[in-house]
């Protein structure tokens, strides 16, 4: 497979067609059949802490790359302007390191969005924790 056509949907269909990238903005997900042709469904969550989708002239770009490490094919590619750009495979060590990096990125993203407690609220939370009334 060399290209994926972009199709906006509300719900991702149960049966996917080869060569189509289905995108549900409402449910923040993109799905397609693996570009290697193995027939496996690949779904990725969309969002600032996950994969990002951009469009230009009706063609989609997804970032970061798609690494199908859990599939038997272990294919790895980028989707850029609807084009499949094949990437090198990763070792088990590279996969583990990549997953750790993704998790740290997500944690940093969500931590930066946590509401900041004022001084009195922090004292109250510490007291409740000390008394064993809150974790």
**Distance from C-alpha of 20 to C-alpha of 22, rounded to nearest angstrom:** 6
Range from 30-39, 79-88, 122-131 carrying the lowest mean pLDDT: 122-131
24, pLDDT greater than 80: yes
**Distance from C-alpha of 80 to C-alpha of 102, rounded to nearest angstrom:** 20
**Distance from C-alpha of 3 to C-alpha of 65, rounded to nearest angstrom:** 15
Residue 126: pLDDT band with limits 50, 70, 90? confident
Contacts of residue 60, Cβ cutoff 8 Å, sequence gap at least 6: 4, 6, 21, 23, 30, 53, 54, 79, 81, 82
Domain boundaries, the chain: 5-130
| Mean of all residue pLDDT scores within the chain | 93
pLDDT for residue 90: 95
**Distance from C-alpha of 84 to C-alpha of 1, rounded to nearest angstrom:** 7
State pLDDT tens for residues 40-91. 999 999 998 899 999 999 999 999 999 999 999 999 999 999 999 999 999 9
Q: Which tokens go with 118?
A: 């004022």
């Amino acid at each position: 497979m060399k290209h994926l056509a972009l199709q906006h949907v509300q719900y991702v269909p149960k049966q996917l067609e080869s060569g189509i990238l289905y995108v549900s903005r409402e449910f923040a997900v993109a799905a397609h059949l693996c570009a290697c042709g193995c027939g496996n469904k690949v779904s990725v969550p969309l969002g600032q802490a996950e994969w990002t989708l951009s469009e230009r002239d009706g063609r989609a770009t997804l970032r970061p790359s798609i690494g199908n490490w859990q599939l038997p094919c272990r294919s790895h590619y980028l989707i850029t302007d609807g084009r499949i750009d094949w990437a090198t495979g990763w070792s088990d060590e590279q996969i583990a390191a990549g997953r750790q990096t993704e998790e740290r990125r997500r944690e940093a993203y969500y931590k930066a969005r946590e509401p900041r407690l004022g001084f009195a609220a922090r004292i109250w939370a510490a007291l409740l924790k000390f008394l064993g009334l809150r974790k």
